[in-house]
Structure 1
């Protein structure tokens, strides 16, 4: 058989006008109706014509990263079959730079949750996986430095045929919000406590002063009762004065002003003798013993503020000790510090109260039905004054040894050293 004749191939050359026989060579320059299209807009800087903007995905990711950082957000993706959790890039900084990150398994992350919150959080996760659903949870996580951080987790469980297959979630740092809530709650509590202080702790001794003043105005009590009346008036007036000062100092400390000091040369043993002498007027039936160990018990302190420290600790010791036992005040000289000790016998401080003993509005053990601690403001102000001097305060309490508050003060506190480094003011030049 002869082969069929081959078809002759022809080569078509585009016309010089740039158009082929079938239409325009560049379809982008014409409209579907055959009309010439308007010229294309100039590309954005960095873009390539005809291919869109290659930088757009990177810009989108950067915008998303910026939003997540500003909102303190992190995300996770947990495919249950794979068992590995995929975290967003910023999760390490969100969790305070936890060494090793949050872990790529659920069990590893669960160990980052504070022990007190772990069980509750695990139950919420288990419930959401058993019956696929969304959930919100608040919990604290450990961080390498500082207090634990509060986190708010919002998660959604994806399911197939009613069975959980994936969990997607968002993690947000709400530490500042929790702090604001706590400060608001404390402010509300303070307002309520302030009403109680004014209505009872100030109004009651003020009423006693007014009553005894009226008795004095009409001739006074019998001679044998006059000294007792004077002591009662003095005690009530001192109570109002001390409580008023505590409230002012507490308000200043809460508003961020701190305790203001005016350091000058002072002697701790002399200060103990002065304060105890004042208390002997109001507590004439109590035994107050002042002791000294070492020669030099002086330093650069604010003696008025330290008098507050001694007064508050002494009043506390008198209230919580049997009336037939002495209260001892001791000044001990050390090389670079001076130590103050206030000791009393009586019931020990309960161990559960020790961690919060110096917090405001924390009541101590009541020695009697009428004994008060000014809602815990006294010990709180004591701690703040000691800290302002660069010192420390500790308490030991037991059945046999009694209760001892120990204050250690540097002879030259940082605030006094700073004042000494300042140049002396220059007065006006004489003509």
Structure 2
């Protein structure tokens, strides 16, 4: 097995390192050592013209002009060090081969040094320009490298984010599938248990007297039936919540009389709970295009919660009215206040406020979440307002036909 296949670090990092190695391999000739070596032929080429002029006794006051080109080429390609070396080399070459006495190094003499001084100053000025250019070039390279690294990092993060989103979507689909299948599978045994309990209760009710050991049996079966009803309601709530969140349940839109709907729900809740519920309804029918059955479910959830979490002496009031482009429905109770920091959380699935958890009232924390989904599917809004002085009111705002824009499939 080839050991070179083993890698360390993430693939993106290995790719970046490979690109850097490739760039370095392609630019080996830009190494400073190559610049030091190239200084010799470039300076030699720069001295060819003044050497020929000296042999032909041609007076040229710019004998070292080509050395500037050599210095500039070396500095631009190989940096400051090789450029400085080129300056020194050109000074020595001019002094040795061109400036009399030739073949003798005499630049240290005052007269020769003064004659070379303008040349040296001009060369150093070129070197200074090269230093500035090199510094700017390094800044640009650093900025480009930083931009490449940032772009590479963003690409990796974006890929990781996309993978995470895909996994979350897959997990959400699996969750919905599990809830749907589990709920359907639970319904059959729950229905069977409930049916068998009801049959047993009917048979026991036909018996005028029961043996002593069987006397507690009807009460126990009634408890079993109550728990199966509760479990069946939970399964229905889970199915509703999952289906509404995945937009799988279409709303059956039809003309709905909200006045009549409120009266029917209130009558049912008063009969079941024994509470007196006050109603404030418009004098004439209030008609709305909506799913009447689902809105009845919302109102039932709100009234059930109001009854469940209110003391026996608390007042419960339902108010329905038309406001310009919307219908506003409010369910008020004078029970305990819901803290402001909890008011957003109570609409989350399975969330129950600490006060509700501590109470003896049973619940799963699904009613308000389902109600919120139903109201929002109608293009409306569900919220709560609560204070010690005013009590707690749940509001449902629904758009009227002229303002409703939601198309329900």
TM-score (norm 1): 0.47
Higher normalized contact order (CA 8 Å, seq sep 6+, divided by chain length): 2
Determine which structure has more spread, i.e. the larger CA radius of gyration: 2
Structure having the higher strand fraction is 1
Structure having the higher helix fraction is 2
